[in-house]
Amino acid sequence: MFACTNASQGECLEHRLFGTSKLYGAAAMKVKKGDFLFLWNLDSDFLYGVFKAVTDGKLNIIADAWEGRYPYQVRVEPIENIVPLKDAKKLLGKLGVGRSSPMGKNATMTILELYRPAIVPMSKWYEFLTKTEEGRDLRILSEPKSWELFAHMKKTEESVEEIPRLQATTLWDFPKQTYGKTPKGDNKYAGVTPAELIWNLVWRYTEPGDLVVDPMCGSGTTIDVCKEEGRRAICYDIAPPSSRSDIIQNDARKIPLSDGVVDMAFIDSPYGDNIRYNEHPDCIGKISSETEKFYDELEKVIEECHRILKPGKVLGWLIGDQWVKKEFTPVGFLLYGRLTKYFDTVDVICVARRGQSSNTSIWYNRARRFNFYLRGFKYLFIMRKTLPGAKKTEETRIINWTYYERSTRKNRG
């Protein structure tokens, strides 16, 4: 289901094109040719149908449609007349249909039924919707033997593909390592990255078809996320798992790529020598983060990432601090110092730490008894390679803040 307003509806119908912004881009790109589609006018609260997709979801089918505001698009064709259903919000709410994931089978069938003209009997309606003439090859999530049979089916919704949401704040917390129906990376791999974190960077900083590189990709979470989101990925590790032939063995301090060819780099590096990743002598995870050498070696990786990135493109780096045997090491701050030698800062995200081995009541009690803290978060540094000609201004910026009156009991009315 796509949404429009009174202002954008004309262009949807005129171009036979539905579009959306980055906010729902991931869902739009999952549309496949032949899917049933509906258009919800948020102003009039009409749901227009029935449409079918005549292309897969694509970037910029018509680049200047809606003045470029909705680049994630799909070409549509109505199936016979376009019919508006009123009170769409209520209907969709009842069916549990949200805007950021595809509709399940039962919801789709229920809505389709609402568009059936009275003169078309149930059995013929299904046939009519799915008949295959030239250019009409409708994909239905699961084909019932007949429409009547479906009508009597138990109303259990098949699980619809879960599509993550873009994070809005600088505090990210992912309770599960992965999302969706397919695994991303290996959740048993020591130090595996939450897949949704990579998904968020991919959707914020790249477009479909872009090239993403992960020079220390461990179990391959980055490759799996990129594949599903239509990005190209080249991933390396000093000791790739034997189960993955798509990870190239390479030392991150020398990446075999030309200068300025990469659209985004992501690294979840070792945080010191706290995890035994492998036996490779060049594994940076063998160097203590209490030593300068650790940061010197990571700086070589930073320099390589800077070299391979296109100007203006982003490097995301995930790292955590260390507290061991009564000694705190601000690994994040020390790495950040090195990153800022090469990159501008886009933002710093605090990522909740989940699933580490100290996440047990024994460790929680020890932390209280012996007066120390368990690591509760990691840093995600989002850094940008400066665009040529973008000079830094030394002047103090003048900001016209909008100050709001605090609401008091009196002015709350």
Ligand X SMILES: C[S@@+](CC[C@H](N)C(=O)[O-])C[C@H]1O[C@@H](n2cnc3c(N)ncnc32)[C@H](O)[C@@H]1O
Helix (H) or strand (E) segment spanning residue 92: helix 88-95
Site string for ligand X, 347-366 (x = CB under 6 A): --------------------
* 307 Cβ neighbours under 8 A, 6+ residues apart: 255, 259, 260
Nearer to ligand X, 216 or 351 (CB): 216
Of 215-234, binders to ligand X (CB under 6 A) are: 215-219, 221
Q: Which of 25, 71, 102, 191 forms a contact with ligand X (CB under 6 A)?
A: 191
CB of 27 to ligand X, least distance (A): 24
Stretch of 16-24, 60-68, 275-283, 352-360 contacting ligand X, by CB under 6 A:
275-283
CB of 180 to ligand X, least distance (A): 15
Using the structure block, give the residue that is written with the tokens 């009275």: 118
Q: Is 331 among the residues that bind ligand X (CB under 6 A)?
A: no
Q: Which of 39, 92, 163, 284 forms a contact with ligand X (CB under 6 A)?
A: 284
Nearer to ligand X, 58 or 227 (CB): 227
Instruction: Tell whether the torsion through CA atoms of 119, 123, 124 and 126 is positive or negative.
Output: positive
Q: Which of 37, 283, 309, 319 forms a contact with ligand X (CB under 6 A)?
A: 283
Q: Return the structure tokens found at 121.
A: 């009997």
CB of 275 to ligand X, least distance (A): 7
- Tell me how far apart the alpha carbons of residues 321 and 290 are, in angstroms, rounded to a whole number: 10
Using the structure block, give the residue that is written with the tokens 């790529």: 257
Nearer to ligand X, 35 or 224 (CB): 224
Task: Please state the φ and ψ torsions of residue 311, each to the nearest 5 degrees.
Answer: -55, 140
Q: Which of 17, 26, 103, 192 forms a contact with ligand X (CB under 6 A)?
A: 192
- Tell me how far apart the alpha carbons of residues 219 and 344 are, in angstroms, rounded to a whole number: 29
Q: Return the structure tokens found at 83.
A: 């019919």
Q: Is 193 among the residues that bind ligand X (CB under 6 A)?
A: yes
CB 231 within 8 A of CB 209: yes
* Three-state secondary structure call for residue 354: coil
Q: Which of 25, 102, 104, 270 forms a contact with ligand X (CB under 6 A)?
A: 270
Helix (H) or strand (E) segment spanning residue 331: helix 331-339
Nearer to ligand X, 66 or 266 (CB): 266
Q: Which of 125, 189, 295, 342 forms a contact with ligand X (CB under 6 A)?
A: 189
Q: Is 197 among the residues that bind ligand X (CB under 6 A)?
A: no
Q: Is 185 among the residues that bind ligand X (CB under 6 A)?
A: yes
CB of 111 to ligand X, least distance (A): 39
Q: Is 71 among the residues that bind ligand X (CB under 6 A)?
A: no
CB 285 within 8 A of CB 301: no
Q: Is 235 among the residues that bind ligand X (CB under 6 A)?
A: no
Q: Is 252 among the residues that bind ligand X (CB under 6 A)?
A: yes
Q: Return the structure tokens found at 21.
A: 């912004």
Q: DSSP for 256-313? A: -S-TT-EEEEEEE---SSSS-----TT-GGGS-TTSHHHHHHHHHHHHHHHHHEEEEE
Q: Is 277 among the residues that bind ligand X (CB under 6 A)?
A: yes
CB 201 within 8 A of CB 252: no
* Three-state secondary structure call for residue 324: strand
CB of 189 to ligand X, least distance (A): 5
Stretch of 98-106, 145-153, 265-273, 381-389 contacting ligand X, by CB under 6 A:
265-273
Of 113-172, binders to ligand X (CB under 6 A) are: none
CB of 327 to ligand X, least distance (A): 21
Number of residues that bind ligand X (CB under 6 A): 27
- Tell me how far apart the alpha carbons of residues 393 and 324 are, in angstroms, rounded to a whole number: 41
Q: Which of 44, 110, 278, 386 forms a contact with ligand X (CB under 6 A)?
A: 278
Interstrand relation of 171-172 and 344-352 (parallel, antiparallel or unpaired): parallel
Stretch of 36-44, 54-62, 190-198, 401-409 contacting ligand X, by CB under 6 A:
190-198
CB of 287 to ligand X, least distance (A): 9
Neighbours of 84 (CB within 10 A): 14
Helices 195-205 and 221-228: crossing angle in degrees, nearest 10, is 50
Q: Which of 129, 238, 351, 383 forms a contact with ligand X (CB under 6 A)?
A: 238
CB 334 within 8 A of CB 293: no
Footprint of ligand X (CB under 6 A): 185, 189, 191-193, 215-219, 221, 236-239, 251-253, 268-270, 277-278, 282-285
